[in-house]
Amino acid sequence: MALPRGVRSPKPMAAAAASASPPQPRPGHMLVLGTGFVGRYVSQLLLAQGWRVSGTCTSPAKKTELEMLGMDASVFDATSSRCCFFFFFLLFLFFVPSSLTNLRSLQDATHLLISIPPIPGIGDPLLSSHSNLQTTLSNSNLQWLCYLSSTSVYGDCGGAWVDEDHTVNPKTESVKLRYAAEKGWLNVIDDLDLSAFIFRLGGIYGPGRSAVDTIAKSKSLSRRQKSRESKQYTARIHVADICQAILASMSIRSARRIYNVVDDDPAPRSEVFAFARSLVERKHPGLIMDSVVLPATQDRIVAAEKRVSNARLKEELGVKLLHPTYKSGLQSILDSWSVESSFSNRNVDV
């Protein structure tokens, strides 16, 4: 039977893990495949720590932005040539000397972060050539690999708490492809002597991508966001805590371990948006326009899906969350704004 809201997972966090700070990894060469919101945040942090960081992105404009940060960047948009994708991917990967993801680049990297989502009808674009990829990695300097997945692979669990040992039950095609990618990457590195991780992330938010940004922009919710309005529980995680988990995992040896990377409070979206609105109204009176559309609180109610436990993340990786609830995370985002900030480029999120 589902626990009432507010009751935490029955697995307690180890006291030693809570008080200890995860060790910092030595600088190496990080290759980020899919330098989006999370990949860019991680890259900036590592660059500041003296790492060499390479990465792929989806447009020349983004490539320029990443290069200005100090990254070695190249353009790789896996969705642009679906009909002939397999051929072009092999060409891109193995025969274009200047490409970031060619044979030499994969061999040079000591750490590999995969953040490219599966493509409908194709799946994970980097797993299209299993044998070639496995051969390349086996002859490389790779020590660590992490695939960023999603808690959506658990499916509808009736509001129960779930941990990494819970049976997955993906329903939609995109989630099935996500789970297939998890298994695919574990298969690729099955015989390789390296640490490998699957991180199942909750809804990602952070500076420029949060409920307070949506409120400040008076932005209407997308159809996909509206479809989640009546959920009673939503797993979420601040991007800074994703970085914490990544850094912590670099300092340990792992035998293909899976971790839920979520905060402590799977609160409903309506509650989060109500809190975000109160924050913005209090700090910036008059900023909010009447046209802003927030999640409905008294429309239809659907069964809660799941509450995702982060006990393993805390116990085994020693991660102490910077933002254990959405309240801390949203407050930190709002505190980072200046009075003169322009909200025109801010995005929307959980």
More confident residue, 101 or 225: 225
Model pTM? 0.82
Report d(CA 95, CA 3) in Å as an integer. Answer: 55
- Burial code (b: 16+ CB inside 10 Å, e: under 16) for 43-78 equals bbbbbeeebbbbbbbbeeebbeebeeeebebbbbeb
pLDDT of residue 5: 40
On the question of pLDDT at 253 being above 50, the answer is: yes
Q: pLDDT tens digits, residue range 97-122?
A: 334 344 466 779 999 999 999 988 88
Q: pLDDT tens digits, residue range 118-149?
A: 988 888 988 875 667 888 888 899 999 999 99
On the question of pLDDT at 92 being above 70, the answer is: no
More confident residue, 346 or 287: 287
Q: Helix 60-69 and helix 37-48: axis angle, to 10°?
A: 20
Across 173-177, 307-311, 335-339, least confident range: 335-339
On the question of pLDDT at 320 being above 50, the answer is: yes
More confident residue, 86 or 209: 209
pLDDT of residue 76: 78
Q: Which of 227, 232, 228 is nearest to 304 (CA)?
A: 232
Q: Which of 282, 213, 243 is nearest to 22 (CA)?
A: 243
**Distance from the first to the final alpha carbon of the chain:** 27
pLDDT of residue 79: 62
